[in-house]
């Protein structure tokens, strides 16, 4: 059962990611096409419609191939679990990485290819903003938005509950604690029972994951609120609803996943469940998490673009920031005080790389990750 779940999870995640990439052009804001600003009404242009269809068809084909590769990778990793040379496992890991990264790379390449075509169409049609318009939303404080950052205090009782469970079970735990299992669920690494081995890893992973989710929540709160000059109030409302839904999703997933990992590890340390079974449960939980992310993307669209049809009627460009988007995905605008902005091709947010704060975040994330790995290594 664990082996089947492992194979199925790899394939399901690859399929879900590929499908989201394939339909990304249909989830973007109506005044953007392949990271190029266009009039909202131009989305009905047969040339743009054709470009999106061809992109989706190509990505669906790539997704199908990648899913098959992921299935093969899962089988190889399971078959090689009992072998000491590591050959099949190494090949399986390589194939799984290929199944995950090839769609991402090809999606970016196809986006750039189509972006060039959209730019040429835009120039030919003369789609250009006569004057850069900016708007201020009246009563912005009354607009919906991401839930307050204080909601992240929910991580504290989760961590305390894990600690309490560990203290309760510690006396009955065996002298050797299972620390690692292979892809078939068989334990292949044990450590003597100590405070560090029992409490170090689960509490550290909970703190680390909570910090990552909190950073994401903070970035949503600090994000620039985009507005369509053709429908300022409607677009601001749509973005607020999108940001609220995404922040709630982050909070729920963060609490469940971080708490689940810690509690399952404590239960496996006490011998109440196997370490392989704990991993099986975590893998199964990944599927609804991914489905939830896709559902939010489909329902809301990027920055709430699918919420209201009123934002789909504009025939003129009132604002154009193409010059600030390098390769369609890297935002660089020294005149914009915001350092978090919605993405142009994808669901979520990116940074304004002209702001020092963006580079501070870029450097702090890997530094914090390395620190986490070092601390866990010292504890266990």
In the chain the beta strands, taken as DSSP E runs, fall at 32-33, 36-37, 176-181, 187-192, 325-326, 330-331, 340-342, 349-351
pTM of the full predicted structure?
Answer: 0.85
pLDDT at 378: 65
More confident residue, 214 or 181: 214
pLDDT at 210: 92
pLDDT at 316: 66
- In sequence order, the β-bridge partners of residue 187 are 181
Q: Which two tokens stand for residue 344?
A: 């142009």
How far is CA 243 from each of CA 139, 204, 219, 254, rounded to the nearest angstrom?
17, 29, 11, 16
More confident residue, 261 or 307: 261
The CA distance from 123 to 25, in Å, is 20
Residue 231 three-state SS: strand
Mean pLDDT of 75-88: 66
pLDDT at 217: 95
- The DSSP-derived string for 36-66 is EE--GGGGG-HHHHHHHHHHHHHHHHHHHHH
Distance of CA 327 to the CA centre of its chain: 20
Mean pLDDT of 325-354: 91
Chain mean pLDDT for the chain: 84
pLDDT at 214: 94
Is pLDDT of 197 > 90? no
More confident residue, 280 or 358: 358
């Amino acid at each position: 059962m664990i082996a089947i779940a492992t194979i199925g999870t790899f394939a399901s995640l690859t399929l879900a990611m590929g499908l989201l990439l394939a339909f990304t052009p249909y989830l973007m804001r109506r005044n953007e096409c392949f990271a190029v600003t266009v009039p909202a009404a131009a989305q009905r242009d047969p040339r743009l419609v054709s470009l999106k269809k061809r992109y989706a068809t190509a990505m669906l084909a790539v997704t199908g191939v990648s899913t098959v590769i992921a299935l093969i990778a899962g089988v190889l990793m399971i078959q090689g679990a009992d072998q000491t040379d590591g050959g099949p496992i190494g090949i399986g890991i390589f194939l799984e990485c290929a199944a995950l990264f090839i769609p991402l790379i090809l999606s970016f390449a196809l986006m750039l290819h189509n972006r060039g075509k959209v730019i040429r169409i835009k120039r030919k049609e003369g789609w250009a903003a006569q004057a850069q318009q900016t708007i201020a939303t009246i009563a912005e404080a009354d607009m919906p938005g991401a839930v307050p950052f204080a909601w992240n205090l929910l991580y504290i009782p989760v961590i305390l509950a894990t600690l309490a469970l560990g203290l309760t079970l510690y006396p009955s735990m065996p002298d050797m604690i299972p620390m690692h299992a292979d892809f078939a669920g068989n334990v292949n690494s044990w450590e003597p029972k100590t405070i560090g081995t029992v409490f170090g890893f689960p509490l550290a992973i909970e703190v680390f994951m909570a910090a990552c989710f909190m950073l994401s929540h903070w970035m949503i709160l600090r994000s620039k609120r985009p507005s369509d000059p053709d429908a300022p109030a409607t677009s601001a409302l749509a973005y607020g609803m999108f940001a609220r839904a995404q922040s709630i999703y982050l909070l729920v997933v963060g609490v469940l996943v971080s708490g689940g990992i810690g509690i399952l590890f404590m239960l496996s340390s006490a011998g109440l469940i196997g370490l392989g079974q704990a991993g099986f449960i975590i893998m199964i939980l990944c599927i609804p998490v991914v489905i939830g992310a896709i559902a939010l993307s489909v329902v809301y669209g990027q920055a709430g673009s699918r919420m209201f049809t009123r934002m789909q009627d504009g025939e003129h460009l009132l604002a154009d920031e193409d010059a600030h988007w390098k390769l369609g995905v890297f935002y660089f605008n020294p005149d914009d005080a915001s350092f978090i902005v919605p993405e142009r091709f994808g669901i979520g947010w990116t940074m304004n790389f002209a702001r020092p704060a963006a580079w501070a975040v870029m450097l702090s994330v890997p530094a914090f990750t390395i620190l986490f790995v070092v601390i866990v290594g010292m504890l266990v």
